[in-house]
Structure 1
């Protein structure tokens, strides 16, 4: 309950629990014997001899006093002269635990403390309004867009500094290559922080982690704006990236909290397309800083600080907690408070997995998945794409400014064309949704309700994969003064389309293919692609300067061309790879 929205949500859960108790309590009256199966003897008759005193079998205290503490039994004489035990308030509460909808009564395992009964708190069926997947569509879209806004801010901060490299380098007295480290070191911070964000969100909930890390991001972005030298700027940018990495690993979990596997077909693009605008539009935001009415390059950081503050306000006021285990923990707390029965527990309260144990898994398991062909291929694919994307941040100067004479501000504005291509991927959503629904319906009749993960590859197969090499060859060999500037601009639009399509397919495919291991797989993919991109931002300027625009883009196009068959091969043979995998699910 760290923000206003979560506090109100906690209160609503309490009211829902109160209503459920009032509604389901009648069930205990209809079945009074189910209580004694737990921790009380079965209802039994004790034969009495003629000279036995019934009082010897009665408690000595007054029947109306403290009324029979919760563990006491009272004796009543049946018509046949025997003493019969009847339930007291404790056993009535036990009956209530059995009767409540969504409560599973069971014994603790040895690891959990064997011997005592526990009432495991769950959802009241598939339509429980407390379950985030049952929020209204408008509410879920709104929550998804808030997540996208977090992603937009932290990823825009990764690229906005590239818009003012000449000004910042001049002020600090360093070369532009050294100043480009401000972007590279931020991406390295992304890679480092991605390992820790997931375990923290699974311990404290999504909202607390989003709020705390966004605060940390804002503090160190402000520190970067106040940096007195290049060393301080790089240090603060690294820490800002560390805190800003949260949506890269946690947002996928939040999307899964809100959308079921079929709905995710349009829910995840809503997040990814809006959120992916960050690294592409970052240079646009900073395009005329340092060369226009805002003379200081430091305003790139101030703008990110202001944007972070606006997003933080949205989270505090509107973002609900979506992590189901935490919501069930809150629900269990209300059951214990209202009933006074300590046996009501959520699953995470019973297992008591510590933060340290989650961190150990988060640190170790991603490297256990390095032998997984699917993970390796997707990591390689996204790494190459991010290398291309972040070298574009430096390369656009050579592609447009040196070739067509565009000024620094206009060169950065051209990145809008790439975002247009990203947005065009929305046109594929209806078709991919139709294919996913067909797959779900056919699979339901054969083997449960799973979606074959390979259906997620449609985004990449529908032109996304070939769009990357096509756009790079196109841009590289039409960037001549004699050719219209619109030719490389349109080529960058095609690149944006291919980029988001491959990103969508890769993430959704990994999530469905690895399920409980998806977080570890995505962590590995995130760490590798951002570390590689961090290194390439430094060599980007020498690469374009020494090799030239045409051959630089040709080399990148050839590398991406080698990767183009990946989605098609996985679509046809992915089920065989998953069948032989130790960690992937087998839904074939």
Structure 2
């Protein structure tokens, strides 16, 4: 709904821009006709700059010379002059009458010796236009702000295909650009995207809280039933590979809405599943279609917020993305132990919340992907002028969807193999996610078996991790202060931007908290020690994981820019597939080794990775310099 209304508003905004440029357009054509014939003229209309006029004039002269060389195929203009339109064509919109300076100048420029209007025979069939509309389109293309008139490149058909009018934003303050929307509107859009991330995260973990009831219903072991959670996470990783190309072709909103709707169908299928096989298949595909926010959310935030603004915008999404899987077991555990409702309500409550989020997205979330917005603008220009040469950049390039999909499938693996930044960041986040999702089953051993907590109360213990996650958000003002200081220092040195490594402050503040919390929890989880001790360790763990997650995501986005989507897809695939597989291992792990040894092993592994953000902070620039893909590197990739 919002996208539809937004598309219509684009047309009105564009008409207003044309209206603002009408006087400028008429003056441009008048100056071109009179140039050289008079040296001193007065006019109330604004005068174009000399350099700009020469550039525009050169573009038109080049076009005229090509027409004269190739000859003119013509149509009579008599009927169009009398009726204001050509046969079979709509009249010029916006009350732009074919009389006056603009129209007369255009016709003067295009009159052939026979008195007919000529058109360029070199244009491809889909770019040829009826002269009345084409002349107005040419004039607007050369005078409207934000339109680049150029020859097509080799990949776009070459110069023989004629010129193309590449559409961009009107200027730095163009309200069509999401970064120029009001702060409140951008914040609201960020919250909606965060809700999507939160609800699919919720769906990933809520089933684990009703594990005993699922086992009893299908007559399987706990390890087998835990596949419902493990396969959902593996589906998350798989879907991350294909979400990007769809969002870059269709836009963010269609992908959010379409994949959320399909994800809800599979959630419903899991709730109705008569056997384990059906449940597992539905859970896998629900995860695959629910993975969209994990890939597209970073792009959506980049669409709306500048790199500096992302310091406080991204933590909003990150907190919701983690709160979802952390809070899922809270209602799930009470549903599981309830004698009033079926354990299958873990799926029904997920379906209800997902439906509410989908409704909010449909009604209130606008499109934010810049290339799609410019495509809308180009469509309106083609409608207004009748000139099909107006193209957004995404329409000019001759890249098929299948080609982009293939790149999206192989490039993440290519980056994983070649890029040490991707390898270490993926390893770091994988360990964090393994610990986080093994807690879904591990908390039963920590709080139920050790302290005798009920199934419902064990789920409530996840609130402690949520508290730690929100505590990590308190560091945002300090991170902003650091970033502004580094930006001022970079500007003094003649740089327009800060190096990506400044994004690592969060991680350096929070990384040591993860192994400390795991050792603390593992060594104090005993009946003789208060349960508040492992709960306190859980708070510290939540603080550590949110700090690392915020840093890693923003560091990758700033380091890889053009290839950030592929880099994030690589990290997403690795960490979710590994976490899904480890859920199957976690149950025998806790059973055979016990809580103390299990958490000691996980804490030791995470301790080995604590130096990663400090190493990148010091040596990241030199590492990027050797890269083919990162900012400041060789930048040579197909």
- Per the normalisation by structure 1, the TM-score is 0.92
Give the CA deviation at 1:266.
0.6
1:133-177 CA-to-partner distances (Å, cap 9, x unmatched) read: 111111111101111111111111111011000001011000111
Q: Select between 297-306 and 431-440 the one with higher mean Cα deviation.
A: 431-440
Q: From 9, 13, 17, give the equivalent of 1:12.
A: 9
**Root-mean-square deviation over aligned CA pairs:** 2.4
Partner of 2:64: 40
1:298 equivalenced with 2:295 (yes/no) = no
Aligned position for 1:584: 630
Conservation of the 8 A alpha-carbon contact between 2:107 and 2:135 = no
Select the residue among 366, 386, 399 that pairs with 1:320.
366
1:318-358 CA distance string (max 9 Å, x none): 00000000000001111111111212111111114221111
- The match for 2:126 is none
| Superposition pairs of residues 306-455 of structure 1, within 5 angstroms | 306-370=352-416, 371-455=418-502
Q: Name the SS of the counterpart of 1:477 in structure 2.
A: helix
Tell me how far 1:450 sits from its aligned partner.
2.2
Q: Aligned residue for 1:542?
A: 588
Q: 1:275, CA displacement in angstroms?
A: 2.1
Work out which of the residue numbers 144, 156, 159 in structure 2 matches 1:100: 144
1:287 is paired with a residue whose SS is helix
Match of residue 320, structure 2, among 274, 294, 300: 274
2:74 aligned with 1:27, yes or no? Answer: no
Kindly state the Cα deviation for residue 73 of structure 1 after the two structures are TM-superposed. Answer: 4.7
Structure 1 residues 577 and 60: alpha-carbon distance in aligned structure 2, compared to 1, 3 A threshold: closer
Residues 332 and 345 in structure 1, CA contact (< 8 A), matched pair in contact too: yes
Structure 1 distance, partners of 2:252, 2:522, is 43
Cα deviation for residue 441 of structure 1 reads: 2.6
Aligned residue runs from structure 1 range 511-522, under 5 A:
511-522=557-568
Cα pair distance change 1:125/1:308, threshold 3 Å? same
| Cα separation, 2, equivalents of 1:59 and 1:185 | 65
**Is 1:215 paired with 2:226?**
no
User: How far off its partner does 1:447 sit?
Assistant: 4.5
Which residue of structure 1 lines up, in the alignment, with residue 611 of structure 2?
565
* Contact 1:38 1:94 (8 Å CA) reproduced: no
CA distance change for structure 1 residues 29 and 420 in 2, over 3 Å: closer, same or farther?
Answer: same
Residue correspondences, number: 564
The residue that corresponds to 2:208 in the other structure is: 162
Give the aligned partner of residue 551 of structure 1: 597
> What is the CA distance between 1:294 and its match in structure 2?
4.1
How far, CA to CA, are the matches of 2:5 and 2:83 in structure 1? 36
SS at match of 1:40: helix
Residues 91 and 468 of structure 1: CA distance in aligned 2, closer, same or farther (over 3 Å): same
Match of 1:246 among 264, 267, 292: 292
| In structure 2, distance between residues paired with 1:393 and 1:36 | 68
Deviation at residue 37 of structure 1 after TM alignment: 2.9
Using the TM superposition, give the Cα deviation of residue 562 of structure 1 relative to its aligned residue in structure 2, in angstroms.
0.5
Give 1:75 shift: 9.8
Residue 101 of structure 1 aligns to a residue whose secondary structure is coil
1:132–1:258 contact (8 Å) kept in structure 2:
yes
What are the superposed Cα offsets for residues 83-111 of structure 1, whole Å, 9 maximum, x if unpaired?
9x999854454222111011111111232
Q: Secondary structure of the residue that 1:289 maps to in structure 2? A: helix
Displacement of 1:36: 3.0
Q: Against the structure 1 CA distance between its residues 96 and 286, is the aligned structure 2 distance closer, same or farther, given a 3 Å change threshold?
A: same
Q: Distance in 1 between matches of 2:250 and 2:118?
A: 43
- Deviations, residues 163-210 of structure 1 (Å, cap 9, x unaligned): 000001011000111101100011111111110000000000000000
Mean CA deviation greater in 90-99 or 315-324: 90-99
Distance between the aligned counterparts of 1:68 and 1:408, measured in 2? 76
Deviations 1:394-436 (A, max 9, x none): 0000011111110010001100100100011111001101111
> 1:112 aligns to what?
156
Q: Which residue of 1 aligns with 2:250?
A: 204
Cα separation, partners in 2 of 1:185 and 1:61, compared to 1, 3 Å:
closer
Q: Distance in 2 between matches of 1:526 and 1:563?
A: 18
1:488 pairs with 2:560: no
**Could you tell me how far apart the structure 1 residues matched to 2:621 and 2:277 are?**
49
Contact 1:189 1:239 in 2 (8 A): yes
Q: State the alpha-carbon separation in 2 of the partners of residues 586 and 311 from structure 1.
A: 40
Change (3 A) 1:408 1:583: same
Query: Which secondary structure does the structure 2 equivalent of 1:394 belong to?
Result: helix
Q: Is the contact made by 1:288 and 1:408 (CA closer than 8 Å) also made in structure 2?
A: yes
SS in 1 for 2:148: strand
Instruction: Say if 2:378 and 2:391, in contact at 8 Å, map to a contact too.
Output: yes
* Stretch moving more, 216-225 or 344-353: 344-353
Structure 1, residues 285-314: CA drift from partner, whole Å, max 9, x if none?
212002125431100000110011000000
Instruction: For residues 192-234 of structure 1, give each alpha carbon's deviation from its aligned partner in whole angstroms, at most 9, with x where no partner exists.
Output: 1110000000000000000010001100000000011111110
Pick aligned residue for 2:303 from 257, 260, 281:
257
Distance, in Å, in 2 between the alignment partners of 1:389 and 1:27 is: 61
Alpha-carbon spacing, 1:447–1:357, altered in 2? closer, same or farther (3 Å): farther
Q: What's the TM-score once normalised by structure 2's chain length?
A: 0.85
From 216, 224, 227, the counterpart of 1:178: 224
Q: Distance in 1 between matches of 2:339 and 2:218?
A: 21
CA distance in structure 2 between the partners assigned to 1:366 and 1:497 by the alignment = 29
Question: Do residues 141 (structure 1) and 187 (structure 2) align?
Answer: yes
Distance 1:74 1:309, change over 3 A: closer
Which residues of structure 1 form unaligned runs of 5+?
A: 45-57, 77-82
Instruction: Report the CA distance shift for 1:314/1:62 in structure 2 as closer, same or farther (over 3 A).
Output: closer
